Amino acid sequence: MARKKGWDPNRKSGRKREAHFMDVALDGYVRDLALRRWREFEDLSEVYDHDVERALEEAGAFPAASSYRPLWQESWQRHVWPGPEEKTGPLFGRIEAAVREALLRERELRLERGEPTIEDTPGYQEFVGRALGRLLEEASGEIEELD
């Protein structure tokens, strides 16, 4: 029989850890989307010979956002895109704020319209699947055989 390292018979079952994972999954998804947008910006910056403004404009196009594209673009302009008002803070933090705002607003609109939730989208489900896979890999490393 296998038992996890550090197993405590008085500790509650693993359900709390599972619930905790789902509680933070949306935050993780926001971070994942922001990292993807950051990487796209870096790639575009290289393509455009370090023209930051052009790279930011292109990275904020959000062609895959379909009917929610204007919402994502407005959030990008508010938080990231250089405009008349000076944006403060690290660029990645501003990108993450834009993604969080747009994703949460899209989530609200989907609910109001009776559309599938963010959690039902292929992108979110793929993210959760990858994260759960990593979690299971980590957990399997914690299992030791009893003699």
pLDDT one-digit tens code per residue, 101-111: 999 999 999 99
pLDDT one-digit tens code per residue, 2-22: 544 554 444 544 545 555 766
Structure confidence at residue 44 as a pLDDT band (50, 70, 90): very high
Structure confidence at residue 142 as a pLDDT band (50, 70, 90): low
> pTM for the full model?
0.76
Structure confidence at residue 80 as a pLDDT band (50, 70, 90): very high
Average pLDDT, the chain: 83
**Contact at 8 Å (CB) between 144 and 3?**
yes
In a domain, 10, yes or no: no
In a domain, 18, yes or no: no
Give the number of other Cβ atoms within 10 Å of residue 9's Cβ. Answer: 5
| pLDDT value of position 9 | 47
Structure confidence at residue 79 as a pLDDT band (50, 70, 90): very high
pLDDT one-digit tens code per residue, 85-131: 677 788 999 999 999 999 999 999 999 999 999 999 999 999 999 98
Distance CA 3, CA 34 (A): 38
In a domain, 55, yes or no: yes
Domain limits for position 61: 25-140
Q: Which residue has 């250089």 as its token pair?
A: 82
In a domain, 6, yes or no: no
Amino acid letter, 77: Q
- The secondary structure of the chain, three-state, reads CEEECCCCCCCCCCHHHHHHHHHHHHHHHHHHHHHHHHHHHHHHHHHCCCCHHHHHHHHCCCHHHHHHHHHHHHHHHHHCCCCCCCCCCCHHHHHHHHHHHHHHHHHHHHHHHCCCCHHHCHHHHHHHHHHHHHHHHHHHHCEEECC
**Total domains, the chain:** 1
In a domain, 103, yes or no: yes
- Report CA-CA distances (Å) from 55 to 33, 60, 61, 82, 110: 17, 9, 10, 11, 30
